[in-house]
Chains A and B, each alone.
Chain A
Amino acid sequence: MTDAPTRAGAPVASPLDPERVSADFPILASGPNTGRRLAYLDSAATAMKPRQVIDSLRTTYESAYANVHRGVYAHAAAATEHFEAAREAVRDLVNARSPREVIFTRGTTEAINLVAYSWGRSNLGPGDIVVTTELEHHSNLVPWQQTCLATGADLRFIPVDDDGVLDVSALDALAEGGRLRMVAVVHVSNSLGTHVSLDVIVPWARSHDALVLVDGAQSVPHRTVDVQALGIDFLAFSGHKLMGPTGAGALWGREELLAEMPPWQFGGEMIRRVGYDVTTFNDLPWKFEAGTPAIAEVTAMGAAIRYLQELGIDAVHQHEIEMTHYAHERLLDVPGLRVLGPALGVERGGVLSFLIEGTHPHDIATMLDTHDVNVRAGHHCTQPLMKRLGVNATARASVYAYTTREDIDRLIDGLAEVRTVFGLT
């Protein structure tokens, strides 16, 4: 497997039936404002949950709940078994070599903070370079910015062009004058949908003996991400964006790196033997899991992964390519509308940010909401990128396995009404 663009141009019909998928999502059946189906186009912020995930949460609390690890009674054993089964589900999802490489976190943000704190503060110093991109979500920017401020390392950015595509010709200059240690990059931009080709980034980082961390928040839920095939060192992602509950996510890291990294939070679960003066820490992965974890949520994240795998991640990805292409084409037909990010036909994730001359994104989102069409408006936690592109905010539509053509048609109809109300026709 490679991370090269999967296809270009108009996609073919996908084998996934979004109507059938939608039947698994109770919340989509009717919107709060119209009673019509909810045209939910904000999955890049968080995905809706299928019955299978909701049932998993209920089952945990109704029939297999206790604190995990160490408990001797039946519920404790069952809860532990289901919790650790979720670890195996994550291992399988990203093709990790061992479940010891899978650390549960609250989400992508905590996973990145773990690496920035544990690895960063014990490995970085003056003369070291951390490289990220101008595309980053604040969650893969601020942790590195703060770690670099604390350690004296230099934080540098791979620039983007006006389409939000990385300018990889700048790579070599970024490694000059210091020692490149870490390349922390987003896989798919949550603001623009830009797909970052790791086929270019990883060999470059390797040529400098630098590590690679990938923010997979917008890629792991939507496409096959194989950590061994990609040749990366860390992968962070959130459960709630792949149809699981909030409060559960994961960090995958290469075992030899995790083994050398110090714990970053201390307390229960992460210890082997504690004395008043000294403590021996637990093995991987529990060394990084201090305190009682999100038991039901992590277990249900496992259910979400199994649900996604039953749909078929490749089928989901194919469906999203089709929906994104359709939405992109239709948006371009709306007068005065500008789509940001990669041009039509260039590989992108299922995210479309747009502006309509003469309206503010928040007014667009508010008016669409009256028709139960949900899009996000704002800076999407990428303020530096917004500034780089010369905009304050965008409206953003994003797709997932349950997105239908009709959802997109309703978006387009709503935008026509926005233009009418604002006197733009």
Chain B
Amino acid sequence: MDDLYREYILEHYRNPQNYGTLEHPTFEAEGQNPMCGDELHVQVEIDDDNVIAAVRFTGQGCAISQASMSILSDEIIGKSLDDVAKLSREDIVELLGIELTPVRLKCALLGLVVVKMGMHDHAGTAAPAGWEGVDEISWGRT
């Protein structure tokens, strides 16, 4: 338990960063993990250089899914969409700094999946195939 529910994870869960909504998002997407019933709705605003200027999200679910989105939102603000496109599931595990079972990995990855799907929807490109561990996550434009 000490490994998974570290204080900073719980702190992000209790007081998530970038929680709320944007007035003028460039794109937005939502997704849910049917296993846990985790839900996330993410809005992203990008500037003229395709750099993420703001992220806001709302959602509900387990501590891992919500904390992971909170940490991810801090991470991607100021990054270019190209850089965000390169983020892998290993990067999320590293950001969280905790060991995750395959079932709980889906919770942790929900945020990144929603962000990526929003990006691809916005760009009109196909979603990346073969994402291990995210096959049960449903997503869609809002």
Q: Which residues of A contact B (CB under 8 A)?
A: 359-363, 366-367, 370, 377-379, 386, 392-393, 417, 421-423
In the complex, whether B63 has a CB less than 8 A from a CB of chain A is yes
Nearest to B39 among chain A residues (CB) is A392
Q: Given A377-B36, A417-B1, A423-B10, output 15 extra A-B contacts at Cβ < 8 Å.
A: A360-B36, A360-B38, A362-B64, A362-B104, A363-B5, A363-B64, A366-B4, A366-B104, A367-B1, A392-B39, A392-B60, A393-B36, A421-B1, A422-B10, A422-B63
B37 and A392 within 8 A (CB): yes
In the complex, whether B85 has a CB less than 8 A from a CB of chain A is no
Residues in chain B near residue A423, CB distance under 8 A:
10, 14
B10 and A362 within 8 A (CB): no
Residues in chain B near residue A361, CB distance under 8 A:
36, 62
Query: What 0/1 pattern do residues 96 to 125 of B give for CB contact below 8 A with A?
Result: 000000001001000000000000000000
Residues in chain A near residue B36, CB distance under 8 A:
360-362, 377-378, 393
Give CA–CA (A360, B38) in the complex, Å. Answer: 9
Partner of A363, one of B35, B37, B62: B62
Partner of B10, one of A378, A393, A417, A421: A421
Please tell me the number of chain B residues within 8 Å of chain A, measured between CB atoms: 18
Nearest to A414 among chain B residues (CB) is B1
Nearest to B66 among chain A residues (CB) is A360
- List of 5 A-B pairs having minimum Cβ-Cβ separation, nearest first: A392-B37, A360-B62, A362-B62, A370-B1, A393-B37
Query: What 0/1 pattern do residues 64 to 90 of B give for CB contact below 8 A with A?
Result: 100000000000000000000000000
Q: List 10 A-B contacts (CB under 8 A).
A: A360-B36, A360-B38, A361-B36, A362-B62, A370-B1, A370-B4, A379-B34, A379-B37, A386-B37, A422-B14
Residues in chain B near residue A378, CB distance under 8 A:
35-37
Q: Which of B10, B37, B107 counts the most A-chain CB atoms under 10 A from its CB?
A: B37
**B1-31 CB contacts (< 8 Å) to partner A:** 1, 4-5, 10, 14
Nearest to A392 among chain B residues (CB) is B37
Nearest to B33 among chain A residues (CB) is A362
Residues in chain A near residue B37, CB distance under 8 A:
378-379, 386, 392-393
Q: A378 to chain B: closest CB distance in Å? A: 6
Nearest to B101 among chain A residues (CB) is A366
In the complex, whether B61 has a CB less than 8 A from a CB of chain A is yes
Residues in chain B near residue A421, CB distance under 8 A:
1, 5, 10
Q: Which of B10, B38, B63, B104 counts the most A-chain CB atoms under 10 A from its CB?
A: B63
Residues in chain B near residue A386, CB distance under 8 A:
37
Nearest to B1 among chain A residues (CB) is A370
Q: B32 to chain A: closest CB distance in Å? A: 9
Give CA–CA (A421, B8) in the complex, Å. Answer: 12
Q: B138 to chain A: closest CB distance in Å? A: 13
Give CA–CA (A393, B35) in the complex, Å. Answer: 9
Residues in chain B near residue A422, CB distance under 8 A:
10, 14, 63
Give CA–CA (A377, B103) in the complex, Å. Answer: 12
Nearest to A417 among chain B residues (CB) is B1
Query: What 0/1 pattern do residues 32 to 68 of B give for CB contact below 8 A with A?
Result: 0011111100000000000000000000111110000
B61 and A360 within 8 A (CB): yes
Residues in chain B near residue A370, CB distance under 8 A:
1, 4
Q: Which of A363, A370, A379, A392 counts the most B-chain CB atoms under 10 A from its CB?
A: A363
Give CA–CA (A423, B39) in the complex, Å. Answer: 23
Residues in chain B near residue A359, CB distance under 8 A:
63
Q: B68 to chain A: closest CB distance in Å? A: 13
Q: Which of A359, A386, A392 counts the most B-chain CB atoms under 10 A from its CB?
A: A392
Give CA–CA (A360, B62) in the complex, Å. Answer: 5
Give CA–CA (A378, B106) in the complex, Å. Answer: 14
